[in-house]
Amino acid sequence: MPNFSRRAVLMQLGASGLAALTPGASLAQNRYADLDTQPWSFLDGNEARFLASMADVLIPEDDFPSASQAGVVDFIDLQLAGPYGKGAGLFLEGPFRDGAPEQGWQVDHTPATLIRTGIARLESGDTRLVDLDASEREDFVTRLSEGEDFDLGDVPATTLFDEIWSLVKEGYFSDPIYGGNKDYAGWRMVGFPGAHAYYADLVDKNAPFPAPPRGIAHVPGSSRSASTSRALTGSDADTQQEEG
Amino acid sequence: MATELPKTDVVIVGAGWTGLAAAKELADAGQRCVVIERGDWRHDATNFGAPEEHDELKYARRKEHMIDTPTKTLSFRNNSDQTALPMRRLGSFLPGKGLGGAGIHWNGQLWRPLPSDLQMRSHYAERYGESILDGMNVQDWGVTYDELEPHLDFFDRVCGTAGVAGNLNGETQEGGNPFEGPRSADYPNPPMKASPPLQMFRDTAAQMGYNPFHMPSANVTKAYENAYGAQLHPCTYCGFCERFGCGYFAKADPIICIYDVVKDHENFELRMNSQVLRVEKSADGKTATGVTYIDENGQEVFQPADTVCLNAYALWNVHLMLVSGLGTPYDPETGEGTVGRNYAYQTIAAASVFFDENVWSNPFMGAGALGMTIDDFNGDNFDHTDLGFVGGGYISANQTNGRPINYQPTPPDTPSWGAEWKQAVRESYLHHVGIVCHGSSVAVPENYLDLDPTYKDAYGQPLLRMTFDFPENDRKMSAYVLSKAEEIARNMDNVRAVGTVNRAAEGESYSVVPYQTTHNTGGAVIGTDPATSVVNRYGQMWDHHNVFVFGACLFPQNLGYNPTGPLMGLAYWTLDHMKNDYLQNPRPLMDA
């Protein structure tokens, strides 16, 4: 697929959409090190743009990156393409019946088909989420989260919202080896140091932990994981601002 | 047609805490033991090492160490008027799978029952009058604290438990839990350290006249050789404990504490990836003849045995009895039958404490049993006159799980997503602690386990069906204990906000979706009356004397403590009577 760029796909988000996603030099140490020029594993361009738009309402940019800036769309794409998306860990034997909320997931869908079907039905009209302005997007996500005004057939709106929001949080805060939390965006935001393991000397002290985050595939001597795809311009750690 | 294997002395279903303890004790007693486990072989040294194990997505969210619902789940409803539907995804509780079972991803909060917990009906009846228990199936366990104490003590030495004794041979000790039953010996190891919020909880609780102490911990604090000669190492407070295995050999688990010292025993054989389908019975139905299972090659085989030990997870033990026709299923209409009766859970509430920036909780520094606790509102440690409920729970400031996907504390009234949410998470994460109310759960006639009429598992067997909602008693208990926790929280210094969550709040039904605790109890309870218990006080089935039952399914009602300590005390109690009595002369150990 020549000249394909995920970034370019996501840039088609309209004037009120994403802050610029800065192309960055990659530090290719594994096959997910630079995802930008690889085709999506599961999503199509419209789905990716929808998820980026929605994810950035859920986790918008401030001093720290938005969800999509932190690679959440890449994360969701990989998750939906993999065992999780295909329903690993889900008992999917019928019959399917509408249940009480206390009975949990009762839809005849895997996460992947739920999200694909749900987005297709949400986007079946003339208006795309990416075409809305910021306040309209927020209103849309609010209504989706409350399940109002949406008839999505066998996809309950709140189930769809909960599933996407769950994936967005996972993408923002999981180890960067899964494609999200780029440059430890989520971990730097809260102050989680990652895969450090030894706090026996510190646990009873009332003091901040000094070291920057370190993931499972941490690159020694840097403040990044091998799986991140964007260059980090600053030196380090807690106060690092996004360059975009 | 199942292939019949050579007979063994004992067949053990499940290779978790109780199954491996049974194998070790019975193999040493000369019994040839075959342990059958549905999951994979694994070991702390090869499977749980950092940094790979420190993967919140894989283990805490995708739950790689837990049972997978496509092969094993249950159906659920809140009451008999509803149609039960399958629990399609794990949530409220997380049974394990594989070598070590749920003992791999437990927290290591290692408690003993209160003496009065084990005589709950007679204790409350004597102190308050029998009517305080109206509408409940609350029962005595049929075994006393004094009888269990040597076995509780032994398990402390298997785990290298860390803590401060509150009662040594009847003498109250400074700094421990003054309400606990007498210990015959001190904890094997000194208590864990206390993080800043735990220190604050301790000081505030003490100022309020309560009795704070370090939570008893199977995250060991010193290098320790356990009762079987296995070596444990000190906890690093890495913060990846619950839902994870411990590659540091610091959290006591069934593999490093027991499996390693029995695996080469000539009387021990372990068969992995093998799913037991049913216990077979003799022609007269009075004894079991062995178990039929699907082996690792997908073949159905029959393993004959003189003695059958059921050591699966509490829920699956009950399921196995029901699909095998062991005992008599409970009928909620008539109140008769016992298998599935007295299912109970745990009643969880919590206060959420938000500190100002002067208090660094650093929640990622943690351990499964890193807690500062008061027991003043547990069991019958406080006067229940006119309170309208029985039971209680411990209140504990815990620092166990500060991993950011699952730990995003926000003060009350924060939006659940968006810019304000993001800002609140960022401001709160390093300055927050949770105070849990770990409440008891009474048994009531309406809550029970049976077989689902519609849904089947991957082996074509009906799913277990759970019918459960929080009893009114426990809703009142939970609100009361939570109010005490909230009071402590508000009295702590440097607190800018306090939130609360109560899973058993009035008007809310129990849900299988949010995680609460993996403390499912009852369904095959212990006792002295065959009309109200599945097994006698030795853990032996009333109806089939060569079937012994282990685990939290034995609890007549759930106490306000984590179940592993009590259930392991029961396990060693049962094994003691098997080794020293039953096996020499197999017969019913009590008259029905």
DSSP letters, B446-509, are T-EEEEEEEEE-TTSPEEEEEE----HHHHHHHHHHHHHHHHHHHHSTTEEEEEEEETT-TT--
Q: Are B88 and A104 an interchain contact pair (Cβ–Cβ within 8 Å)?
A: yes
* Shortest distance, CA A135 to any CA of chain B (angstroms): 12
Mutation for A interface: B83, B201, B364, most A CBs within 10 A: B364
Orientation of helix A111-122 relative to helix A157-173, angle to 10°: 120
β-strand B3-4 against B224-225: which pairing, if any? unpaired
Orientation of helix A134-146 relative to helix A45-58, angle to 10°: 90
Q: Which amino acid is at A215?
A: G
Q: Which of B256, B275, B312 is nearest to B551 (CA)?
A: B312
Mapped onto helix, strand or coil, the DSSP state of residue B551 is coil
pLDDT at A9: 76
* Shortest distance, CA A44 to any CA of chain B (angstroms): 24
* Shortest distance, CA A120 to any CA of chain B (angstroms): 24
pLDDT at A195: 86
Residues in chain A within 8 Å Cβ distance of B405: 169-170, 173-174
Whether the ω angle into residue B329 lies within 30 degrees of 0, i.e. cis, is no
Phi first, then psi: give them for residue B547, nearest 5 degrees. Answer: -110, 120
**DSSP string covering B502-520:** ETT-TT----SSS---S--
Exposed e or buried b per residue across A26-46, where buried means at least 16 C-beta atoms within 10 angstroms of its C-beta: ebeeeebebbbebebbbbeeb
Mean pLDDT by 10 residues, chain B (592 residues): 94 98 98 98 96 96 95 96 98 97 98 98 98 98 98 98 98 97 98 98 98 98 98 97 96 98 98 98 97 97 98 98 98 97 98 98 97 98 98 98 96 98 98 98 98 97 98 98 98 98 97 97 98 98 98 98 98 98 98 88
Phi first, then psi: give them for residue B233, nearest 5 degrees. Answer: -125, 160
Q: Are B85 and A198 an interchain contact pair (Cβ–Cβ within 8 Å)?
A: no
Mutation for A interface: B199, B237, B398, B431, most A CBs within 10 A: B237
**Is the pLDDT confidence value at A234 over 70?**
no
With 0-12 / 13-18 / 19 or more C-beta atoms within 10 angstroms meaning exposed / middle / buried, residue A207 is exposed
* Shortest distance, CA A66 to any CA of chain B (angstroms): 10
- Return the structure tokens found at B545: 């004397």
| B71 Cβ contact list (under 8 Å, min separation 6) | B38, B275, B457, B458
β-strand B432-439 against B347-355: which pairing, if any? antiparallel
Phi first, then psi: give them for residue B85, nearest 5 degrees. Answer: -125, 155
What is the C-alpha separation between B15 and B291, in angstroms, rounded? 15
Mapped onto helix, strand or coil, the DSSP state of residue B27 is helix
With 0-12 / 13-18 / 19 or more C-beta atoms within 10 angstroms meaning exposed / middle / buried, residue A238 is middle
Mutation for A interface: B55, B246, B405, B421, most A CBs within 10 A: B405
- Return the structure tokens found at B259: 């499996």
Which residue in chain A has the smallest CA separation from B221?
A: A200
Residues in chain B within 8 Å Cβ distance of A95: 454
- N-to-C CA span, chain B: 36
In the 3-class helix/strand/coil scheme, how is chain A assigned residue by residue? CCCCCHHHHHHCCCCCCCCCCCCCCCCCCCCCCCCCCCCCCCCCHHHHHHHHHHHHHHCCCCCCCCCCCCCHHHHHHHHHHCCCCCCCCCCCCCCCCCCCHHHCCCCCCCHHHHHHHHHHHHCCCCCCHHHCCHHHHHHHHHHHHHCCCCCCCCCCHHHHHHHHHHHHHHHHHCCHHHCCCHHHHHHHHHCCCECCCCCCCCCCCCCCCCCCCECCCECCCCCCECCCCCCCCCCCCCCCCCCC
Q: Are B61 and A170 an interchain contact pair (Cβ–Cβ within 8 Å)?
A: yes
Residues in chain A within 8 Å Cβ distance of B68: 88-89
Which residue in chain A has the smallest CA separation from B194?
A: A204
Which of residues B203 and A31 earns the better pLDDT score?
B203
What is the C-alpha separation between B428 and B443, in angstroms, rounded? 38
Q: Are A174 and B54 an interchain contact pair (Cβ–Cβ within 8 Å)?
A: no
pLDDT at A219: 82
What is the C-alpha separation between B138 and B445, in angstroms, rounded? 10
Residues in chain A within 8 Å Cβ distance of B512: 102-104
Q: Are A173 and B364 an interchain contact pair (Cβ–Cβ within 8 Å)?
A: no
Beta bridge mates, B300? B294
Which residue in A190, A198, A209 is closest to B404 by CB distance?
A: A190
- Helix and strand numbers (H, E) in chain B are 11, 22
Q: Which of B143, B10, B6 is nearest to B583 (CA)?
A: B10
CA–CA–CA angle B114, B118, B122 (5° rounding): 115
- The alpha-helical segments, DSSP class H, found in B336-471 are 419-428
Chain mean pLDDT for chain A = 84
Which residue in A141, A190, A204 is closest to B194 by CB distance?
A: A204
Q: Are B364 and A193 an interchain contact pair (Cβ–Cβ within 8 Å)?
A: yes
| A53 Cβ contact list (under 8 Å, min separation 6) | A13, A17, A129, A130, A132, A137
* Shortest distance, CA B226 to any CA of chain A (angstroms): 22
Which of residues A33 and B176 earns the better pLDDT score?
B176
DSSP-derived letter for residue B437 is: E
Helix%, strand%, coil% for chain B, nearest 5: 25, 20, 55
Length of chain B: 592
A-B C-beta contacts closer than 8 Å:
183
Which residue in chain A has the smallest CA separation from B399?
A: A203
Which residue in B199, B408, B454 is closest to A95 by CB distance?
A: B454
DSSP-derived letter for residue B133 is: G
**Is the pLDDT confidence value at A167 over 80?**
yes
Residues in chain A within 8 Å Cβ distance of B247: none
Q: Are B239 and A175 an interchain contact pair (Cβ–Cβ within 8 Å)?
A: no
A39-53, A173-187, A221-235, B137-151: range with lowest mean pLDDT: A221-235
**Is the pLDDT confidence value at A30 over 70?**
no
Kindly indicate the confidence band of residue A218, based on its pLDDT and cuts at 50, 70 and 90: confident
Kindly indicate the confidence band of residue A35, based on its pLDDT and cuts at 50, 70 and 90: low
Alpha carbons within 13 A on the beta-carbon side of A147: 9
Q: Are B195 and A204 an interchain contact pair (Cβ–Cβ within 8 Å)?
A: yes
Mutation for A interface: B57, B238, B357, most A CBs within 10 A: B57
Q: Do B588 and B546 contact (CB within 8 A), yes or no? A: no
pLDDT at A3: 65
Q: Are A89 and B52 an interchain contact pair (Cβ–Cβ within 8 Å)?
A: no
* Shortest distance, CA A198 to any CA of chain B (angstroms): 5
* Shortest distance, CA A206 to any CA of chain B (angstroms): 5
* Shortest distance, CA B274 to any CA of chain A (angstroms): 19
CA–CA–CA angle B131, B136, B140 (5° rounding): 90
Residues in chain B within 8 Å Cβ distance of A187: 404
Which residue in chain B has the smallest CA separation from A169?
A: B405
Which residue in B69, B76, B419 is closest to A89 by CB distance?
A: B69
pLDDT at B439: 98
Question: What CATH class is the domain B3-90+97-584?
Answer: alpha beta
Residues in chain B within 8 Å Cβ distance of A103: 76-77, 85, 87, 511-512
Q: Which helix (H) or strand (E) is B433 found in, with range? A: strand B432-439
Residues in chain A within 8 Å Cβ distance of B511: 101-104
With 0-12 / 13-18 / 19 or more C-beta atoms within 10 angstroms meaning exposed / middle / buried, residue B584 is exposed
Q: Are A209 and B362 an interchain contact pair (Cβ–Cβ within 8 Å)?
A: yes
Q: Do B65 and B243 contact (CB within 8 A), yes or no? A: yes
**DSSP string covering B270-328:** EE-S-EEEEEEE-TTSSSEEEEEEE-TTS-EEEEEEEEEEE-S-HHHHHHHHHHHT-S-
Q: Are A104 and B359 an interchain contact pair (Cβ–Cβ within 8 Å)?
A: no
**Is the pLDDT confidence value at A232 over 70?**
no
Distance of CA B441 to the CA centre of its chain: 13
- Return the structure tokens found at A176: 């960067």
pLDDT at A47: 96
Mapped onto helix, strand or coil, the DSSP state of residue B426 is helix
Mutation for B interface: A91, A106, A187, A188, most B CBs within 10 A: A91
Q: Are B364 and A99 an interchain contact pair (Cβ–Cβ within 8 Å)?
A: no
Q: Which of B417, B410, B395, B404 is nearest to B179 (CA)?
A: B395
Q: Are B511 and A170 an interchain contact pair (Cβ–Cβ within 8 Å)?
A: no
Task: Give me the mean pLDDT over the A55-61 stretch.
Answer: 97
Mutation for A interface: B417, B421, B469, most A CBs within 10 A: B417
Q: Which of A124, A163, A129, A115 is nearest to A57 (CA)?
A: A129
- The catalytic site residues of B sit at 519
What is the C-alpha separation between B368 and B562, in angstroms, rounded? 12
Q: Which helix (H) or strand (E) is B8 found in, with range? A: strand B8-13
DSSP-derived letter for residue B535 is: B
Q: Which of B436, B451, B414 is nearest to B501 (CA)?
A: B436
Beta bridge mates, B76? B85, B466
| A126 Cβ contact list (under 8 Å, min separation 6) | none
Q: Do B525 and B139 contact (CB within 8 A), yes or no? A: yes
Q: Do A100 and B513 contact (CB within 8 A), yes or no? A: no
What is the C-alpha separation between B364 and B355, in angstroms, rounded? 16
| B134 Cβ contact list (under 8 Å, min separation 6) | none
Q: Do B537 and B525 contact (CB within 8 A), yes or no? A: no
Which residue in B57, B236, B510 is closest to A198 by CB distance?
A: B236
Residues in chain B within 8 Å Cβ distance of A93: 86, 455-456
* Shortest distance, CA A3 to any CA of chain B (angstroms): 32
Q: Are A208 and B362 an interchain contact pair (Cβ–Cβ within 8 Å)?
A: yes
Strand order in the sheet with B347-355: B213-214, B371-374, B393-398, B432-439, B347-355, B495-502
Which residue in B193, B417, B454 is closest to A165 by CB distance?
A: B417
- Return the structure tokens found at A196: 């450090």
Q: Are B50 and A189 an interchain contact pair (Cβ–Cβ within 8 Å)?
A: no
